[in-house]
Amino acid sequence: MEELKLVAKAHLLAALHGQPLDGEYLPKVRTDLDSSASYNEYARFLRDRLPIPDLTPLQRALHIQRAEHLYWTILETHVAAGSKRYKTAAYYCALLAEIAVHAGHVSEFVEWYEDLLARYSRRWSLRKILEAKTRPVLHRAAQGS
């Protein structure tokens, strides 16, 4: 799981390099590399060894797409692990929502999100936790447009 997070973060950092970030979750992807509280081997690797080149818009989009795919996998893994991991899954869902807002494909995210909720319609606690984290992100995006 740590390796998935590392690769997802590497793709996201490359895609977001030099861009201003809004939101509650997305800016933390970048700033947690400087935070001593979350300092670990993986953060040190990304900070010290990952070159962040200037990318074309197409390359940025591909990096975001790869990061999203990995974060979806991480989210689904947490959901499958059971109710004790729903809050972590909700964090990744909200992060994915902010990535979609930043990348300008909110409608695709909403379609995926509603499919996720439908697939787990019998898990009321999951739905409640996901909604609490994700709906505010979508609401802020709707107000900003």
Tens digits of residue pLDDT in 51-77: 667 788 898 899 999 999 999 999 999
Q: 46: closest CA among 3, 102, 94?
A: 3
Buried b (16+ CB within 10 A) or exposed e, 34-45: eeeeeeeebbee
Rounded to two decimals, the pTM is 0.86
Measured CA to CA, the distance from residue 58 to residue 51 in angstroms comes to 18
* Amino acid occupying residue 104: G
- Angstrom distances, CA of residue 96 to CA of 25, 34, 89, 105: 9, 22, 11, 11
Residue 132: pLDDT above 70? yes
pLDDT tens by residue, 78-93: 999 999 999 999 999 9
Measured CA to CA, the distance from residue 89 to residue 121 in angstroms comes to 15
